Amino acid sequence: MFGFGKKEELFAPCEGRCIPLKEVHDPVFSGGMMGEGVAIIPAIGELCAPCDGEIIVLPESLHAVGIRTKNGAEILLHIGIDTVNMNGDGFTTTLKVGDKVSVGDLLVKVDLEKVKNAGYEATTPIVITNMEKVKILEKTESRNVTKGEKLVSYKCA
């Protein structure tokens, strides 16, 4: 058995409604198949870094961003449900894989009205994908949050 190190936190990437993953209308996230965390129904279309780290995933569709923290936690922001089908329409970023980000740095701008008009939800799961290396200490769920507010506390192995 291994011990866990220093406590880390994930912060709200935007203003919105924080909900439990089990309420996300996608069985991959609601069933915990991608990992543990929370989701935000964004009120604004600017999603910022929930933690310090390095961009490790950024598909051409810009519907998701993966960040690895210095202690090895891998965080995924999945912007919307099935928005990969939009092929990047309505999403913009200046980032690329390998870029370093700090909490609050702008990751992706998304046109929430365009997402809605395309028939998709903007609900954004924020999950730790490598749970074998992470122990969740506490999660914020089911309330309105402001950008930068603490959402999840965890420790890395």
d(CA 62, CA 109): 9
Angstrom distances, CA of residue 62 to CA of 40, 97, 153: 17, 12, 26
Contact 29, 57 (CB under 8 A): no
Q: Tell me, yes or no, if 78 is annotated catalytic.
A: yes
Q: Which two tokens stand for residue 104?
A: 């609050």
Q: Given its phi and psi angles, is residue 131 left (phi above 0), alpha (psi -120 to 50 degrees) or beta?
A: alpha
Angstrom distances, CA of residue 78 to CA of 54, 107, 114, 116: 16, 12, 17, 16
Return the DSSP state at 8. E
Question: Catalytic: which of 21, 35, 48, 78?
Answer: 78
Residues assigned a catalytic role: 78
